[in-house]
Amino acid sequence: MIKIAIMGYGVVGSGVAEVLSMNHDIISSRAGQEIEIAKILDLRSFDDSPYAELFTKDFNDILNDKSIKIVAETIGGLDPSYEFTKKLLKAGKSVVSSNKELVAQKGDELLSIAKENNVNYLFEASVGGGIPIIRPLHSCLAANKIEWIQGILNGTTNFIMTKMIEEKLSFEQALLLAQKLGYAEKDPTADIGGADANRKICILASLAYGKHVYPHEVHQYGIEDVTLADVAFAQSMGCVIKLIARAKKLENGKISMMVCPAIIPVSSKLASINDVYNAILVKGNAVGEVLFVGAGAGKMPTASAVIADIVDAVKANNTSISQYWAPSCESAVSNYREDVIKFYLRLQADDVEAAKEFILNNYTTPIILSRLDQPENEIAFKTDFMLEDDVKKLTISLTEKGFKQLSKIRILD
């Protein structure tokens, strides 16, 4: 029998206890021994819980209990999770985590500490909720050079975009609905602004390319400025708009990173991933494209991933599984302004003909778009491949000419 502890009895932590109890026999047989919850850390009281006598408010009760070998960290955030995790690993306990913020910011350091202490730091639940992606990327695709990873990594924004596309809800209406249904984080800015997806693509890129990619190095945009007019123009191109997170290995060895709303063709594998679902498309040089799809959040799916890590930590039996990446002294990430990409731009112009002339003369083979109910003072077009930097310069000159930029969205086709 092996004893574990859970830190943080919120949605995910309570889900871990629930799934461990619900699937007790099958989990024990897969782990090769019984798994018993010895302690649960939470500052709140849960007197009516079936685990009431296991609760403690003192972290040291877990740290100093030598019989506890594995700890599930489901607190989230950096403080106090970072300090707690370091202490537990140094004390020779494996830690499994659903905490994407901590892994994205401090994964390199925590993985090193785990290795030095011959224990494991595992975080399958930190990306894509219940979707198996960390282990497949690390183990099953180990034979491949990963050319790129592209994904829908945030359920809330995918839900919002689905409602905008399918039910013509405005961004504000769709966000309210997502909050009502409990999909958005407490502070939805991390979802809609792209920070949540950013953390997740950083974890995947670090794992795929062996060097820590930090969220602050990533060019990040959210979906808060996407309008129903943009959705309609995308539809006129046979496309949809999704919040896409992408990591791509360049020939010069650097990694191109991007988190932003992107226009993708309806025929692409990610276009049909709707509602709160997440999907991760991975291109390996031997295997080709592999798609992982599933529930990207939620109590039971995320608990399922945390317990998979607990089972692995049990089976690892005093060895450190080789999942690892190195700290990145010099940034591994390329300068996004050197990326070459197609753009969609929407402008407001009192003189639409003058705007059209400017566009045709200054952009590379632009295609003027049209949509139903298009106001007379609106013009939208898509460019050919252009340097991010050139597009930036041209949008500045559009503004100088008196044309107001309403939208600028990247096109991935």
Instruction: Print the binding letters for residues 25-54 with ligand HSE: x by CB under 6 A, - otherwise.
Output: ------------------------------
| 401 in active site | no
Window 94-153: residues binding ligand HSE (CB under 6 A): 129
| Residue type (1 letter), 334 | S
Q: Pick between residue 185 and residue 351 the one whose CB is nearest to ligand HSE.
A: 185
Side by side, the strands of the sheet bearing 55-56 are 55-56, 35-41, 2-7, 68-73, 94-97, 121-122
Window 325-364: residues binding ligand HSE (CB under 6 A): none
Q: Pick between residue 242 and residue 382 the one whose CB is nearest to ligand HSE.
A: 242
Question: What percent of the chain is helix, strand and coil (3-state, nearest 5)?
Answer: 40, 25, 35
Q: What is the dihedral of CA 199, 120, 136, 328, to 10 degrees?
A: 50
Q: Residue 411 — φ and ψ, nearest 5°? A: -110, 125
Q: Side-chain half-sphere of 33: how many Cα atoms within 13 Å? A: 13
Give least dist CB 303 to ligand HSE, A.
13
Window 179-198: residues binding ligand HSE (CB under 6 A): 183, 185, 191, 196
Q: Rounded CA gap, 246 and 315, in Å?
A: 33
Q: Rounded CA gap, 169 and 27, in Å?
A: 43
Single out the residue of 97, 150, 156, 323 in contact with ligand HSE (rule: CB under 6 A). 156
Mode of pairing for the β-strands spanning 94-97 and 255-265: unpaired
Q: Rounded CA gap, 250 and 22, in Å?
A: 46
Q: What is the DSSP secondary-structure string of 133-147?
A: -HHIIIIITTTS-EE
Q: Pick between residue 199 and residue 211 the one whose CB is nearest to ligand HSE.
A: 199
Q: Is position 155 an interface residue for ligand HSE (rule: CB under 6 A)? A: yes
Give least dist CB 64 to ligand HSE, A.
32
Give least dist CB 302 to ligand HSE, A.
7
Give least dist CB 156 to ligand HSE, A.
3
Q: Pick between residue 124 and residue 339 the one whose CB is nearest to ligand HSE.
A: 124
Helix (H, G, I), strand (E, B) or coil at 253: coil
Q: Pick between residue 106 and residue 346 the one whose CB is nearest to ligand HSE.
A: 106
Q: Is position 76 an interface residue for ligand HSE (rule: CB under 6 A)? A: no
Q: Pick between residue 278 and residue 328 the one whose CB is nearest to ligand HSE.
A: 278
Q: Write out the two tokens for 331.
A: 């940034």
Phi-psi sector, 275: left (phi>0), alpha (psi -120 to 50), beta? left
Q: Is position 224 an interface residue for ligand HSE (rule: CB under 6 A)? A: no
Give least dist CB 193 to ligand HSE, A.
12
Tell me which residue of 381, 120, 363, 325 sits closest to 212, measured CA to CA: 325
Give least dist CB 36 to ligand HSE, A.
28
Tell me which residue of 370, 398, 396 sits closest to 382, measured CA to CA: 370
Q: What is the CA radius of gyration of the chain?
A: 23
Q: Pick between residue 147 and residue 185 the one whose CB is nearest to ligand HSE.
A: 185
Q: Which of 39, 100, 200, 342 is catalytic?
A: 200
Single out the residue of 215, 296, 301, 366 in contact with ligand HSE (rule: CB under 6 A). 296
Single out the residue of 174, 280, 297, 308 in contact with ligand HSE (rule: CB under 6 A). 297
Give least dist CB 157 to ligand HSE, A.
7
Residues in contact with ligand HSE, total (CB under 6 A)?
10
Catalytic residue annotation: 200
Binding site for ligand HSE (CB under 6 A): 129, 154-156, 183, 185, 191, 196, 296-297
